Amino acid sequence: MTVDEELTLLESHLRRLKIEYEIYFNSPQKRPPSDLEWKVLALLRKFSDGGGRLNFSQRFRYNEMAQRYAVYSDLWRKKARIREEGYRRPQDALLSVQGVRPEEHEAPHKVYGVRAHPEPFVVTDVKSERDKVEKLFVALSEAKKKAGENVSGSLESFNSFVQKKTQQIRKQYGCEQVEYSVDIADGKVKLTARAKT
């Protein structure tokens, strides 16, 4: 099975899992779809561990599904707790019926690879590694679009920012390479730069 076929399978499992959970929460006799969830988790783990096998578009597609699972699983956990303990507050009953609107919810924990971009970008010299900077710019822009943030600034201004930041960190820590990663914290996209030793 190719990577694309496995990603399509993951997408289909995730869609099915969402439906199964909806049926589970609306039917008192039903058991949670643990087997299907295990399959989803196994595929998510497989791709988070073998990130090098994925090309840029496959990684983006995987990452989008991993984030979707993070949001779903947190919602299911809350609903399961309410189902076990009973409704204690009016908003609990509301949650059970409606679910959570995405803009009000951010998963408090990271699941497998739920970094806005699963692999960090390692930069040594910005001038000779423009392709890396361009990919970093695309990853940052795509993550911001997904999070509903404004995407501002040009590739040129981003390039000069990365160049200055790289020089500054290399000088400060006496390192050759600087590692950049696109992360999501508290629902906001952030670019993190650290010295790579």
pLDDT at position 100: 42
State which of 66-70, 116-120, 122-126, 166-170 shows the largest mean pLDDT. Answer: 66-70
pLDDT at position 16: 93
Give the C-alpha separation, 71 to 75, whole Å. Answer: 6
| Residue 115 falls in which region: left (phi positive, over 0), alpha (psi -120 to 50) or beta | beta
Average pLDDT over residues 22-27: 84
Average pLDDT over residues 23-28: 81
C-alpha distances (whole Å) from 129 to each of 170, 180, 181 are: 16, 13, 16
**Statement: residue 148 has pLDDT above 60:** yes
For the chain, give every domain's residue range: 3-104, 121-196
**Statement: residue 35 has pLDDT above 80:** yes
Give the C-alpha separation, 14 to 35, whole Å. Answer: 12
Give the C-alpha separation, 190 to 136, whole Å. Answer: 12
Residue carrying structure tokens 């009016």: 90
